[in-house]
Amino acid sequence: MLLAIDIGNTRIKGAVFEKDNVIENFVFSKSELEKKIENILKIFPKVQDLVVASVGNLSKNDFLNFEKSLKVHFISNEDVFPFENKYATPKTLGIDRAVLASGAVLRFPKQNRLVIDAGTCITYDFIDADDNYLGGAISPGFRLRYEALHNFTAKLPLLKLENPDHFIGNSTQQSIHSGVVNGMIHEIDGFINQYKEEYKKFTIILTGGDTEFLAKRLKNTIFANSNFLLESLNHLFQYKITND
């Protein structure tokens, strides 16, 4: 059994895998890390490997206590990935983006793929049919957009994600919701359409915490899977075992 851990900017997600099957999912805060993992290992004593991808401020040292009972694998830019990194600054590519690109290559072989990860930030990653990682884009996610409007203006309120009543906002709050939500949807569809101009056929993978909210509203056909990063971690681990 394998325990995959994704340390994001705001929370930690985890999943226990038996080969390619997800046995159970977990979500918890960074302050709960040690206790939560200890509890998971008690429930699933057959877990032998722990694989971690982190974009947060936790490092491998935070997992040293677990090395007595299982093998800890911390994904880094030094690992071998199943794609050719064509990024101009390859070592600056975020681990989360590298893992997602790996999952796209391993899950959807021999085709163009666009991975859209909608979380604290929204990232776009494109890998062509020859497994070349070409890059993508990074922009603010929903929470950052709401916070920016509140923090950098004098009177706009801080709102939480909510579907606008109409694209024409008839109040300040509805105008904010329309701007944030419709702005994000138009951005994503716009990026997809821009890729379509250059690549006639490709698979679109939508993942991240806002997957469900966005999937219902996008015009383009997508493969939506909020757990794609954790599944990609599992696939990448199996790839590493085979290619080490």
Q: What is the pTM of this model?
A: 0.92
| C-alpha pair distances (Å), 203 with each of 85, 125, 222, 223 | 19, 12, 7, 8
| pLDDT tens, position by position, 204-231 | 999 998 999 999 889 887 899 999 999 9
Q: Mention every residue, 6+ apart, whose C-beta is less than 8 A from residue 56.
A: 7, 8, 9, 12, 30
Mean pLDDT of the chain: 92
Indicate the residue type of 215: A
Among candidate residues 20, 49, 96, 189, the one labeled active-site is 96
The most distant pair of C-alpha atoms in the chain lies apart, rounded to whole Å, by: 59
96: annotated active-site residue: yes
Strands 84-85 and 2-7: unpaired
pLDDT in tens, 73-113: 889 888 899 999 999 999 999 999 999 999 999 999 999 99
Tokens of 93: 């590519």
